[in-house]
Amino acid sequence: MAEGADTWAAMVVLALKKENPALKLHCVLPCEGQADGWSASARELYHSILEQADEVVYVNREYSKGCMLERNRYLVDHAACLLAVYNGEWRGGTAMTVRYARKLNRTVHIIDPVSCAVM
């Protein structure tokens, strides 16, 4: 539920749920107050998505240095496959999450953020 691809994916799921109510949106958050520093419009969209979610999970109640990594590992630990919008850089949260998913032998689908090609 970070800004960007996470929000886009949540909105896609909510739109698809209108045609297929069996779909579920599970929002996994690193901590409460994640969006506190975001713009008013981003916070409004964020809270609207959370209100429509089937489940909201807080990995931690308060922000800590490792809460984003814990959230990413939680996502992989509870998924059969990973869909990542990822530019291939070695550093960063998405890179670490992709490596962790591959280490656990999860199926990983990469969407290139520039070309939108799926790899």
> What's the one-letter identity of residue 48?
S
Do residues 5 and 40 both lie within one domain? Answer: yes
Work out the widest C-alpha separation in the chain, in whole angstroms: 40
How big is the CA angle at 37 (ends 116 and 94), to the nearest 5 degrees? 35
Do residues 5 and 52 both lie within one domain? Answer: yes
Residues in the chain, pLDDT under 50: none
Do residues 49 and 17 both lie within one domain? Answer: yes
Do residues 84 and 62 both lie within one domain? Answer: no
Q: Give the separation between CA 13 and CA 6, rounded to whole angstroms.
A: 11
pLDDT for the residue 70: 97
pLDDT for the residue 97: 97
Q: Are 109 and 88 in contact (CB under 8 A)?
A: no
Q: What are phi and psi of 5, to 5 degrees?
A: -60, -35
Q: How many domains does the chain have?
A: 2
Do residues 7 and 62 both lie within one domain? Answer: yes
Tell me the pLDDT tens digit for each residue of 38-71. Answer: 999 999 999 999 999 999 999 999 999 999 999 9
| Contacts for 115 with CB less than 8 Å, ≥ 6 apart | none
Do residues 88 and 47 both lie within one domain? Answer: no
pTM value?
0.89
**Residue span of the structural domain in which 93 resides:** 79-119
Do residues 47 and 29 both lie within one domain? Answer: yes
Do residues 63 and 14 both lie within one domain? Answer: yes
Do residues 4 and 40 both lie within one domain? Answer: yes
Do residues 64 and 112 both lie within one domain? Answer: no
Do residues 14 and 64 both lie within one domain? Answer: yes
